[in-house]
Amino acid sequence: MRRDELGDLTVFMTVAEEGNFTRAANRLGVSQSAVSHTIRRLEASLGFRVLNRTSRSVSTTDMGEKLIGALRPGLEQIETRIEELRSMGDTPSGLVRLTASATAVRFILWPVIMELVRDYPDIQVEINTNSRLADLAEGRFDAAVRLAEMVGPDLIAVPVGPAVEMAAVAAPTYLEQRGVPLHPADLDRHDCIVMRFGATSAAYDWEFERKGEEIVRKVSGPLLFNEAEFCVQAAREGYGICYVTLPEVAADIRAGRLRRVLSDWCEPFDGFHLCYSSRRQMSSALRLLIDRLRYRG
């Protein structure tokens, strides 16, 4: 294989991961036309198409998927060796790719990362915000920030925040009109603002616990979102009750924009953890980030 073909394959992997020529070009630091030219050259060299292109989207062909499956182990091995060499240096450096919910980014990651990249200019951090649980290997992420209950058994998890509790909240005007629920069963008579974490996943059922009694309610209402911040905004504007983590609405509660209900049914549980695969070599940059994020409570 020629050296330019290896570079072309890297461009192809980036386009496949991003699903978009423009985003891939931005990530690679080149023009969109350069990316398109590289893919055409690669397909001509291979003798088959690796991408399906439409005016709105890019997806891999069957042969493209097989090519990704063949390339990924080798590229991961190369990345591992490079990270091993980097870790021998005196100064942490390199790219750390993270996936996390917007809530985790806002309250856990950002306060630490803003100082990290200031202190270590050779470290670059990429954050992908997504409510669904992205696969680390598939997305080629170094780590994810997830609530403890959502960490898979094959991942190493490091606590990065205190215990968390959920909060059911609504605008005072809504509660004046519809009444205050005193038990989770009362939610059947209320408009609830629902979360759906993925386009094909079921809506999130609200989980409550008090003194060992657990109740799961399948709620419904006029609005469904895949991001908590939109649920909170809809609640502020009086469309119903939303159910999110307490930090996301603490300021609204203090300001009187939202009122908490069913608080006696929202017991604390293990909070956010940073998780990563034990099978992948850890870079010096990721090791430093974990050390700074680690919750020592």
Of 34, 68, 85, the position where a domain reaches its end is 85
Shared domain for 66 and 133, answered yes or no, is no
∠ Cα 292 296 297 (to 5°): 135
Identify the band that residue 3 occupies on the pLDDT scale cut at 50, 70 and 90. low
Q: Which stretches of 88-184 are DSSP H helices?
A: 102-104, 110-119, 136-139, 172-178
Task: Specify whether the CB–CB gap between 259 and 193 falls below 8 A.
Answer: no
Extract long-range pairs of 109-114: CB within 8 Å, 24+ residues apart: 109/145, 109/293, 112/289, 112/292, 112/293, 113/289
Task: Specify whether the CB–CB gap between 223 and 240 falls below 8 A.
Answer: yes
> Tens of pLDDT along 152-181?
777 888 999 999 999 999 999 999 999 999
**pLDDT reported for residue 255:** 97
Mean pLDDT of 79-100: 72
CATH number for the domain spanning 54: value is: 1.10.10.10
Exposure string for 9-29, b = 16+ CB within 10 A, e = fewer = bebbbbbbbbebbebbbebbe
pLDDT above 70 for 283: yes
- Of 81, 80, 83, the residue nearest 94 (C-alpha): 83
CATH number for the domain spanning 233: value is: 3.40.190.10
In the chain, the number of structural domains is 3
**pLDDT reported for residue 4:** 59
Shared domain for 80 and 129, answered yes or no, is no
pLDDT above 90 for 206: yes
Shared domain for 142 and 281, answered yes or no, is yes
Shared domain for 38 and 78, answered yes or no, is yes
Shared domain for 181 and 252, answered yes or no, is yes
**pLDDT reported for residue 159:** 92
Residue 136 lies in a domain: yes
Task: Specify whether the CB–CB gap between 51 and 40 falls below 8 A.
Answer: no
Average pLDDT of the chain? 86
State how beta strands 206-210 and 213-217 pair.
Answer: antiparallel
Token pair belonging to 265:
């049914």
**pLDDT reported for residue 2:** 57
Q: Which residues contact 74 (CB under 8 A, 6 or more apart)?
A: none
Dist. CA 104–CA 145, nearest whole Å: 7
**pLDDT reported for residue 90:** 60
State how beta strands 51-53 and 58-60 pair.
Answer: antiparallel
**Other C-beta atoms within 10 Å of 130: how many?**
16
Mean pLDDT of 54-61: 80
Give the structural domain span for 80.
Answer: 3-85
Shared domain for 133 and 260, answered yes or no, is no
Residue 161 lies in a domain: no
Identify the band that residue 115 occupies on the pLDDT scale cut at 50, 70 and 90. very high
Shared domain for 180 and 235, answered yes or no, is yes
Q: Which residues contact 196 (CB under 8 A, 6 or more apart)?
A: 202, 203, 204, 224, 225, 226
Shared domain for 284 and 259, answered yes or no, is no
Tell me the CA distances in angstroms from 134 to 62, 99, 129, 130, one per residue in order.
22, 7, 10, 7
Task: Specify whether the CB–CB gap between 252 and 232 falls below 8 A.
Answer: yes
